[in-house]
Amino acid sequence: MTTTVERPRAKVPAAQRTPRRPGRFRKHLWSYLFLVPMVLLFGGFTVWPLMASWWYSFFDWDGVGTPSNWVGFANFAEVLRADAFWRAFWHSLVFSLAAIFVELPLALVLAILLNNSWLRFRNLYRLVLFLPVVATTAVIGIVIAILLDPAGGLVNRILLDTGLVDQPVNFLGSTSTALPTLLSIDVWKGFGITLIYWLAALQTVPKELQEAAEIDGAGFWRALRFVTLPVVMPIAIVILLLVFQRSLNTFDLVRAVTEGGPDYATDVVPTYIYRFAFDPSLQAPRYGFASAAGVVFGLLTLVVTLLQAPFLRRRLDGGRR
Amino acid sequence: MKIRPPLIALTCAVALALSGCNLVGGSADSGDAGKVTVTVALVPDPPGASEFYRQQFDEFEKANPGIAVKVLENPSDQQLNAVELMFQQNNAPDIFRAQDDGMDRMAARGWVAPLDEFVTPEFLKRFPAGSMDPATSGLHRDGKLMSLPLVWGPWSTLRVFLYNEDLLKQSGYDGPPKTWTDLERMATKVTADGKGKYFGYAPTAAKAPAVEMLADTAVPYSVPATGIDFRTGKPATSSPGLVESVELHRRMQAAKVMMPGWESWDGARAFKEFAAGRLAMYATPPWHVAEVRKLAPEIKLGVTGLPVPAAGRGAYLPLSKSFSPLWSMSAKSAHKAESWKVMDFLASESFHNAYYKKFGTLTALDSAWKAEAEKNPDQAAILAVAEETMRRAPNPALASKGGRALTDALAAKPDLKHTDAAVSSIVKNQPFGPAAAQLDRDLQTFLDQTSTELKAKGQEGSAKDLTFAGWDPLKDFRPGG
Amino acid sequence: MNRLAFRRNVWHLLLIPLCLVWIYPFVWMVSAAFKTPREMLIGGLSLLPDDATLENFRRAWTTAKFSTYTANTITYSIAVVVLVLLVASTAGYALARPGLPGKKVLVGLLIATMFIPHGYTIIPTFLLVNGLGLGNGLLGAALAQAGPALVVPVLLFMGFFSGIPKELEEAARMDGAGYLRTYWKVMLPLAKPVMGTVALMNFIGAWNAFFIPLVFTLGNPDLRTLGVGMYGFYGQDTTDWTGLAAAACISVIPIVVVFLFLQRTFVEGIAGAVKS
Determine the Cα–Cα distance for residues B242 and B425; give it in Å rounded to an integer.
13
Same domain, B441 and B473: yes
For residue A11, the distance in angstroms to the closest alpha carbon of chain C comes to 8
Same domain, B168 and B272: yes
Q: Nearest by CB to A173, from B80, B196, B261: name it.
A: B261
Give the chain C residue whose CA is nearest to the CA of B285: C237
* B192-220 exposure pattern, b = at least 16 Cβ within 10 A, e = fewer: eebeeebbbbbbbbbbbbbbbbbbbbbbb
Give the chain A residue whose CA is nearest to the CA of C255: A134
In this predicted structure, the answer to whether residue A181 has a pLDDT above a threshold of 70 is yes
Instruction: Between C220 and B229, name the one with better pLDDT.
Output: B229
C166 contacts in chain A (CB < 8 Å): 11, 14-15
In a domain, B232, yes or no: yes
The ipTM of this complex is 0.87
Pick from C164, C107, C270: nearest CA to A15: C164
Q: Lowest mean pLDDT: which of B15-19, B147-151, C11-15, C85-89?
A: B15-19
B424 contacts in chain A (CB < 8 Å): 263
Q: Nearest by CB to C74, from B11, B26, B72: name it.
A: B11
Q: What is the pLDDT of residues B142-172, one digit of tens each?
A: 899 999 999 999 998 999 999 999 999 999 9
Same domain, B85 and B219: no
Give me the phi and psi of B329, to 5 degrees please. Answer: -100, 140
Which pLDDT does position A318 carry in this prediction?
Answer: 44
Same domain, B220 and B303: yes
pLDDT-derived band at C47 (thresholds 50, 70, 90) equals confident
Q: What is the mean pLDDT of residues B51-58?
A: 94
Determine the Cα–Cα distance for residues B326 and B267; give it in Å rounded to an integer.
21
C28 contacts in chain A (CB < 8 Å): 143, 147
Element holding B107 (H helix, E strand): helix B100-108
A31-to-A35, B45, C160, C263 alpha-carbon distances in Å: 6, 53, 16, 30
Pick from A202, A18, A48, A243: nearest CA to A117: A202
Could you tell me where the DSSP H helices lie in chain C? 2-32, 37-42, 55-63, 66-95, 103-115, 123-131, 138-146, 151-163, 166-174, 179-181, 188-190, 192-208, 211-215, 226-229, 241-262, 271-275
Query: The domain A83-137+190-320 is classified under which CATH number: 1.10.3720.10, 1.10.600.10, 2.102.10.10, 1.10.150.20?
Result: 1.10.3720.10
CATH number where B51 lies: 3.40.190.10
DSSP B466: G
Q: Lowest mean pLDDT: which of A1-15, A37-51, B341-355, C103-117?
A: A1-15
Q: What is the mean pLDDT of residues A267-288?
A: 81
Q: How many CA atoms lie within 13 A of B47 on its CB side?
A: 22
Which C positions 24-83 lie with beta carbon below 8 A of chain A? Answer: 25-26, 28-29, 32, 45, 83
In a domain, B19, yes or no: no
Which C positions 156-185 lie with beta carbon below 8 A of chain B? Answer: none
Q: Nearest by CB to B206, from A62, A174, A259: name it.
A: A259
Q: What is the mean pLDDT of residues B36-40?
A: 94
Please name the residues in contact with C255: beta carbons below 8 A apart, sequence gap of 6 or more: A134, C203, C204, C207
Please name the residues in contact with B466: beta carbons below 8 A apart, sequence gap of 6 or more: B222, B228, B230, B233, B396, B403, B406, B407
Q: What is the mean pLDDT of chain B?
A: 90
C237 contacts in chain B (CB < 8 Å): 45-46, 267-268, 287
Please check whether residue A179 is in contact with residue A91, taking contact to mean a CB–CB distance below 8 angstroms: yes
pLDDT-derived band at B479 (thresholds 50, 70, 90) equals confident
Task: Give the domain extent around B239.
Answer: 157-316+393-481
Contact C234 B76 (CB under 8 A): yes
Return the sign of the alpha-carbon dihedral for residues A308, A309, A311, A315.
positive
In single-letter form, the type of residue at position A39 comes to V
For residue C201, the distance in angstroms to the closest alpha carbon of chain B comes to 16
Which pLDDT does position B34 carry in this prediction?
Answer: 78
Q: What is the pLDDT of residues B392-435, one digit of tens each?
A: 999 999 888 899 999 988 988 888 999 999 999 999 999 999 99
DSSP per residue over B322-376, as a string? Answer: S----EEEETT-S-HHHHHHHHHHHTSHHHHHHHHHHH---BS-GGGTHHHHHHS
Q: What is the dihedral of CA B53, B54, B57, B61, to 10 degrees?
A: 180
Q: Locate the domains of chain C by residue range.
A: 66-275
Q: What is the pLDDT of residues C133-166, one digit of tens each?
A: 877 788 889 998 998 889 999 999 998 888 777 7
First vs last C-alpha separation in chain B? 81
> Neighbours of C (≥3 Cβ pairs closer than 8 A)?
A, B
Please name the residues in contact with A28: beta carbons below 8 A apart, sequence gap of 6 or more: C97, C100, C101
In this predicted structure, the answer to whether residue A315 has a pLDDT above a threshold of 50 is yes
Determine the Cα–Cα distance for residues A131 and A140; give it in Å rounded to an integer.
12
Q: How many domains does chain B have?
A: 2
Contact A282 B101 (CB under 8 A): yes
pLDDT-derived band at B383 (thresholds 50, 70, 90) equals very high
> Neighbours of A (≥3 Cβ pairs closer than 8 A)?
B, C
Q: What is the mean pLDDT of residues C220-235?
A: 87
C100 contacts in chain A (CB < 8 Å): 28, 31
CATH class of C66-275: mainly alpha
Determine the Cα–Cα distance for residues C170 and C166; give it in Å rounded to an integer.
6
Q: Does C56 touch chain B (CB under 8 A)?
A: no
For residue A258, the distance in angstroms to the closest alpha carbon of chain C comes to 16
Interface probe, candidates C40, C115, C226, C241, chain A, greatest A C-beta count within 10 A: C115
In this predicted structure, the answer to whether residue B32 has a pLDDT above a threshold of 90 is no
Instruction: Between B70 and A228, name the one with better pLDDT.
Output: B70
Q: Lowest mean pLDDT: which of A124-138, A162-176, A282-296?
A: A282-296
Q: Is A68 exposed, middle or buried (0-12, 13-18, 19+ CB in 10 A)?
A: exposed
Determine the Cα–Cα distance for residues C240 and A35; give it in Å rounded to an integer.
47
Please check whether residue C195 is in contact with residue B3, taking contact to mean a CB–CB distance below 8 angstroms: yes
In a domain, B27, yes or no: no
Element holding B51 (H helix, E strand): helix B49-63
Q: Lowest mean pLDDT: which of A72-76, A183-187, B11-15?
A: B11-15
Determine the Cα–Cα distance for residues A293 and A281; give it in Å rounded to an integer.
20
Taking residue B254's Cβ as centre, other Cβ atoms within 10 Å add up to 12
Residues of chain A with a CB closer than 8 angstroms to some CB in chain B: 62-65, 84, 145, 149-152, 168, 170, 172-175, 178, 257-259, 261-264, 275, 280-286
Please check whether residue B280 is in contact with residue B167, taking contact to mean a CB–CB distance below 8 angstroms: yes
Determine the Cα–Cα distance for residues B405 and B19; give it in Å rounded to an integer.
49
Contact C233 B47 (CB under 8 A): yes
Determine the Cα–Cα distance for residues A156 and B468; give it in Å rounded to an integer.
53
Q: What is the pLDDT of residues C158-201, one digit of tens each?
A: 988 887 777 777 788 788 778 888 888 888 888 888 899 899 99
Report the 3 state secondary structure along C131-190.
HCCCCCCHHHHHHHHHHHHCHHHHHHHHHHHHHCCHHHHHHHHHCCCCHHHHHHHHHHHH
Which pLDDT does position A211 carry in this prediction?
Answer: 67
Name the strands in the sheet holding B327-330, side by side, starting at the edge strand that comes first in the sequence: B67-73, B36-42, B95-97, B327-330, B112-113
Same domain, B446 and B305: yes
Which pLDDT does position A15 carry in this prediction?
Answer: 42
Q: What is the pLDDT of residues A151-180, one digit of tens each?
A: 888 899 899 999 888 888 999 999 899 999
Give the chain A residue whose CA is nearest to the CA of C128: A44
Q: What is the mean pLDDT of chain A?
A: 82
Same domain, B176 and B241: yes
Q: Are strands B199-201 and B279-284 parallel, antiparallel or unpaired?
A: parallel
Q: What is the pLDDT of residues B279-324, one digit of tens each?
A: 999 999 999 999 999 999 999 999 999 999 999 999 999 999 999 9
Residue A262, preceding peptide bond in cis (omega within 30° of 0): yes
C128 contacts in chain A (CB < 8 Å): 44-45, 48
pLDDT-derived band at B235 (thresholds 50, 70, 90) equals very high
Pick from B47, B54, B471, B5: nearest CA to B287: B47
Q: Is B138 exposed, middle or buried (0-12, 13-18, 19+ CB in 10 A)?
A: buried
For residue A200, the distance in angstroms to the closest alpha carbon of chain C comes to 5
Taking residue B131's Cβ as centre, other Cβ atoms within 10 Å add up to 18
Element holding B317 (H helix, E strand): strand B317-319
- SS3 for B471? coil
In a domain, B25, yes or no: no
Give me Rg for the CA atoms of chain B.
Answer: 25
In a domain, B20, yes or no: no
Name the strands in the sheet holding B279-284, side by side, starting at the edge strand that comes first in the sequence: B199-201, B279-284, B160-164, B301-304
Same domain, B201 and B232: yes
In this predicted structure, the answer to whether residue C87 has a pLDDT above a threshold of 90 is yes
Same domain, B225 and B167: yes
Determine the Cα–Cα distance for residues B26 and C219; give it in Å rounded to an integer.
10
In a domain, B10, yes or no: no
In a domain, B474, yes or no: yes
Give me Rg for the CA atoms of chain A.
Answer: 24
A122-to-A130, C10, C259 alpha-carbon distances in Å: 12, 14, 14
Determine the Cα–Cα distance for residues B252 and B258; give it in Å rounded to an integer.
6
In a domain, B2, yes or no: no
In single-letter form, the type of residue at position B108 comes to A
Give me Rg for the CA atoms of chain C.
Answer: 23
Q: Does C12 touch chain A (CB under 8 A)?
A: yes
